[in-house]
Structure 1
């Protein structure tokens, strides 16, 4: 659902850019409360994983494909504020390095694909986990439903933005029907990927899943006849640290394999937005991407003739760049948090 340059007029793009900038600023502050020494590296990995899986377009209808948006997955794994930043980092890498998603439309894409999907999915997720049994399976079920809802919600958001600032005169009703219809189907794929991924992480390290934090029961101590929370351990056990390292390594290797090898077998059909744009005529004023001459444009490495090698190498570069950029951002946010409060306060957070 990457919106290219030329779909949305300049005033609306600027307004969406302002909304996106405000959302990122709020998310930077909110992420300070979500990130700690355990989750900051995981957040960078989540961004890299989303980048990799977004390369895997899957068929959803005749001549149409879809791909992961990632807002629900990021919000549930690392928190809603950090989730907005994860998807924003991915969109920035895609726009600058791979000419995917217009640079003038970056604000539109962040608002639609990062903010809307994260806010909607996390609201649905939190509502479900409050009424479902307190079990790990409930987290997976809630993740599936939240991801499913987030994709058509993003389709509706795009339609509203296009109704305000679209550059062609088309029937908004027809655009809305087509967008929601195809993105409900794409949402099923999004839900499957999100549910499987969250379920896999919850099964091995539920303590690292932000959305599963309510499943952790604090140890109670009876003092003078009253039950109080036992203090949290000062440091994670060696086994837990090793497991966290193994999870990070396995996640990175999985991302590299998906982007570097499996992506070659992804569907070549246009995604939901591209298909609707062509069918409804909203792509008539599409502009050339500012990074169209990038050495990595269109997810291939220039001057490498072999398509498999070119695409695979571009995917590996993208995963690496996103992991480095994401981890750098999240460690900086984490360090800013520890610099703003005293060590004692950090222990009590």
Structure 2
């Protein structure tokens, strides 16, 4: 659902840019509370993984494909504020290096694909987790529902922005129906990918899933015929090495590289949901050429390489590597700023 240049007029694009900047600013502050020494590098990995999976378009209807948006996945794995930053990093890399998503529409894309998906998905996820039994299965069920709903919600948000600043005159009711309809189907694929990924991480390291923290059900004892909470024993102190995230990080990065460098060659070549609706409804009449169309990595291929498999695979590998480096750098900087901030008592004495 990468909105290109020319779909939305300049004033509304600028307003969306301000909204996106505000969302990023709020997320930078919130991410300081979510990130620690273990999760900061994992957040960069999550961004790289989302970049890789977004290259895997899957068919959803005749002549239409979809791809992961990733807001729900990022929010559940590393937290909602960090999730917005993950998607923002991915969109920035895609727009600047790969000419995917307009540069003037970057604010629209961050607002729709980042802020809206995270807000809707994580809000619904937390609500479901509170009413469902406190178990890992509940986390995966909540992940499925939250990610499914987040995609048509993003489609509706795009339609609302288009209603205000669209550059072509088309019946908005038809646009809304078409956008939401096809993105409900895409949402099913999003839900499957999100649930599988969250479930895989929970299976090996539940402590690394932000949305699963504090969900362990208390031990119950029967006393006098009634169930009461048992007093938990002091948790053993685990050595730092036992809590290392190195294996998870290496496995996740290797998976992302394989997906982007090899599996992406077999992705569907059909237009995605927004591209299909735009062509059918005439939204794309005033679409503009991307400012980075001459990038050596434009359209996820390496300029000068004639072998499509090698060109796409190398571009995907570069994208994953670049995203993990930029993302990890951003999240480490956020983490270091939190670590270096004076305590409230210290600030009061200044």
TM-based fold match above 0.5: yes
Q: TM-score range by the shorter chain?
A: over 0.9
Equivalent residue number for residue 91 of structure 2: 91
Deviations 1:127-146 (A, max 9, x none): 00001111111101100100
Q: How does 1:279-298 map to 2 (within 5 A)?
A: 279-298=280-299
Deviations 1:134-177 (A, max 9, x none): 11111011001000000000000000000000000000000000
Aligned partner of residue 215 in structure 1, secondary structure = coil
Deviations 1:235-267 (A, max 9, x none): 6542221xx210110000000000000000000
Assess if the C-alpha contact under 8 Å between 2:134 and 2:217 holds in 1. no
Equivalent residue number for residue 78 of structure 1: 78
Equivalent residue number for residue 224 of structure 2: none
Q: Aligned pair in 2 of structure 1 residues 12, 232: CA closer, same or farther (>3 Å)?
A: farther
Equivalent residue number for residue 180 of structure 2: 180
Aligned partner of residue 168 in structure 1, secondary structure = coil
Q: What is the total number of aligned residue pairs between the two structures?
A: 336
Equivalent residue number for residue 238 of structure 1: 241
Assess if the C-alpha contact under 8 Å between 1:56 and 1:266 holds in 2. yes
The answer to whether the aligner puts 1:315 opposite 2:323 as a matched pair is no
Q: How does 1:47-62 map to 2 (within 5 A)?
A: 47-62=47-62
Assess if the C-alpha contact under 8 Å between 1:51 and 1:322 holds in 2. yes
Q: Distance in 1 between matches of 2:235 and 2:73?
A: 27
TM-score with structure 1 length normalisation? 0.93
Deviations 1:44-88 (A, max 9, x none): 000000000000000000000000000000000000000000000
Equivalent residue number for residue 44 of structure 1: 44
- Extract unaligned runs of 5+ from structure 1: 220-226
Q: How does 1:232-311 map to 2 (within 5 A)?
A: 236-241=239-244, 244-311=245-312
- Extract unaligned runs of 5+ from structure 2: 220-229
Deviations 1:172-226 (A, max 9, x none): 000000000000000000000000000000111000000000224799xxxxxxx
Q: Aligned pair in 2 of structure 1 residues 131, 218: CA closer, same or farther (>3 Å)?
A: closer
Equivalent residue number for residue 130 of structure 2: 130
Q: Distance in 2 between matches of 1:167 and 1:257?
A: 39
